Every structure is written in C-alpha cells, then in structure tokens.
Amino acid sequence: ATAVTRFRFKFRTTLLIMFLVAQMVPVEALTIPLFFLMRDFGQLNTLGSLILPHLAFSLPFAIWMLRGFVKAVPEALEEAAYIDGASRTRFLWQILFPLVFPGLVATSV
C-alpha cells in the first residue's frame, strides 16, 4: 500500500483500477475454475491451494483499505525522517508502521 500511495510510477492508476476490479469479482464465480486450476497443477489438498486463492481475494481489499491510512501520514514526516538520516526501511518500520498499525489491525479483522 505504501508503494501505491507514496511513489509515482507509470501504471499506478491502472494498478489501482485492477485492485478495484478484483474486488468486484465474487469469490463464488471463481470457485470452480480455481478448483480445475489447482487440480491441473496437482495442488489439491495442499496448503498452497488454500493460501493462494485467499491471498488473491484478500490482498486487493487490504491494499485499497491501507492506502487511505498511508495517505493520511503527512509527506513532511517522511522528508523529515530522511533529513535526519533515516533510510527508507527505517522510515517504514519505525515511523510509518506504528502510525498505520491501527489501520493494519482494522484490515486484518
């Protein structure tokens, strides 16, 4: 969600629209095709056959919801952290993550 919110790149709008369209597709419409896909790959009755479809359906919602929480953190805070010598990773873990944590908890429920 941070990459989609903070960084400007060529297909950002297209990616966000794809996340939105992925939320519009009902899970029930893809149950039988996913079964056939997992059967063809020999992945029936495995942990991966549970995890992959769950991620495919829940990740777009999580990114869309967390995008609002990340956008609420001022960019001036990010710039101040970089001026103080924080790396991008340090900014994510020590500044952005604690501020976005309530949104992460709300999304995970």
Q: How far apart are CA 103 and CA 16, in angstroms?
A: 19
For the chain, report the end-to-end CA distance as a whole number of angstroms: 17
Q: Are 82 and 91 in contact (CB under 8 A)?
A: yes
DSSP assignment of 41-68 equals: TT-TTSHHHHHHHHHHHHHHHHHHHHHH
pLDDT band of 25, cuts 50, 70, 90: confident
> Tens digits of per-residue pLDDT, 29-40?
888 999 999 999
CATH number at residue 21: 1.10.3720.10
This prediction's pTM: 0.74
The number of folded domains in the chain is 1
> Tens digits of per-residue pLDDT, 45-83?
999 899 988 888 888 889 889 999 999 999 999 999 999
Report CA torsion sign: 67, 14, 93, 74.
Answer: negative
Range of the domain at 38: 2-108
